[in-house]
Amino acid sequence: MEQTLNPAAASSALRAPATRAQFIDSDDKDMLRVARDATKDLGQARAAWYWPDMLLSAGLGYGAMAGAILTDNITLAVVLGIVSALALYRALMFIHELTHIHRDALPGFRTAWNLLVGIPMLVPSFMYEGVHTLHHKRTQYGTAEDPEYLPLALMKPWSLPAFVLIALLAPVGLILRFAVLVPLGVVIPPLRKLVWEQASALMINPEFRRKPPEGVLAKRVYWQELGGFVWAWAVLASTQFIGWRPLLIALAIVSLTAVLNQLRTLVAHLWENDGEPMTVTAQFLDSVNVPPPGLVAEIWAPVGLRYHALHHLMPSMPYHDLPEAHRRLKAELGTQSTYDGANHKGMMELVARIARSTMGQRPTA
């Protein structure tokens, strides 16, 4: 049924950002067409971006961590610890790219990343592969079957700080998983099943249960879990020779990295869906871009994650092409378009919006 707006109301409607609720049942087909047509020449993962970025980030992260462990200057140790956490965070976020790039792209990159970052950080790629793609499924995003979705904006106010602070325990939990639960699971099959279903994925939905791995992934899980087991025990054994100080400093740095990632996760979506399936456009508008000119977002949402909403439109677009894709869509669609509804100014604005929503101050649809 058509509605007629007076000129003042029409002008106001034009200025109002598009929202998820407007597109629950129907897509903005013009936006989807432009997104497809304007980026046809993009989408090729380039080794000249991936390898140097990942290697330099990991090298800086481990170098700064070593400096923080070796120095007796507390101020310098704190500074180096922060640098290490930020650099390792960037290196770790390449796990997201591994789940989306074509299997034949970047030969050797997955193996190198796991050896240099995934296993040493006890977050091998199997913990995201085969899981994150469910978050992008048209019929599963935002539902109980989505491992990476919680309706945080609809939950109690205390849920937000709890959601962030629980990440502090992640490093200890990962050591426990690989050093203790993996070997116990070999001799206690029910425990193995429990660990796989509930502690083998980077997920935030406590109701999600992971299905058994198949094919190539099953082989990767075996070797990556073996590597994680050996590394976890090597780290624990090192305390008998060099003491606990290096491990405790490393755990503090990795905890900071985990909190950074949890903060980014907190503002990656608006978390306003209560379980119903949504169109691609609604999923896009429930997701978040924090585009330039701000520079800080490149620190807390690295490797293209500041364009998280755009990523939900084009999941296979490599991170180095997302800035150009955003520029083209912004220019083509304009500032009052549906596309612009997913663009936000920064983390604080997004945290405040979600916090207000938990206190019953819902944004108008």
Q: How confident is the model at residue 25 (pLDDT cuts 50, 70, 90)?
A: confident
For residue 121, the tally of other CB atoms under 10 A from its CB is: 23
Q: Across all residues in the chain, what is the average pLDDT?
A: 91
pLDDT of 307: 97
What mean pLDDT comes out for the span 319-329? 96
Please name the residue ranges forming H helices in the chain.
Answer: 7-15, 29-37, 47-70, 74-92, 94-98, 109-113, 132-135, 159-165, 170-176, 182-187, 189-198, 215-242, 245-266, 280-285, 297-300, 308-313, 322-333, 347-358
What mean pLDDT comes out for the span 188-213? 95
pLDDT of 44: 93
pLDDT of 2: 37
The most confident of the ranges 20-34, 59-73, 332-346 is 59-73
Please give the single-letter amino acid code of residue 312.
Answer: H
Provide the token pair at 102: 């074509």
Bigger pLDDT: 7 or 45?
45
pLDDT of 361: 59
Q: How confident is the model at residue 363 (pLDDT cuts 50, 70, 90)?
A: low
CA distances from 165 to 84, 201, 226, 257 (A): 20, 19, 29, 12
Q: How confident is the model at residue 294 (pLDDT cuts 50, 70, 90)?
A: confident
Say yes or no to pLDDT of 212 above 90. yes
Q: How confident is the model at residue 336 (pLDDT cuts 50, 70, 90)?
A: confident
Please name the residue ranges forming H helices in 267-338.
Answer: 280-285, 297-300, 308-313, 322-333
pLDDT of 8: 38
Provide the token pair at 271: 């978390």
Bigger pLDDT: 24 or 297?
297
Bigger pLDDT: 361 or 159?
159
What mean pLDDT comes out for the span 74-97? 98
Using one digit for the tens of pLDDT, what is the confidence trace for 36-70? 999 999 999 999 999 999 999 999 999 999 999 99
Say yes or no to pLDDT of 13 above 80. no
Say yes or no to pLDDT of 7 above 90. no
Which of 346, 165, 155, 152 has the alpha carbon at shortest distance from 266? 152
Tell whether pTM > 0.85. yes
pLDDT of 362: 55
Q: What angle do CA 185, 191, 195 make, to 5 degrees?
A: 85
Provide the token pair at 272: 């306003």
Dist. CA 218–CA 214, nearest whole Å: 5
Say yes or no to pLDDT of 15 above 60. no
Please give the single-letter amino acid code of residue 127.
Answer: M
Using one digit for the tens of pLDDT, what is the confidence trace for 232-262? 999 999 999 999 999 999 999 999 999 999 9
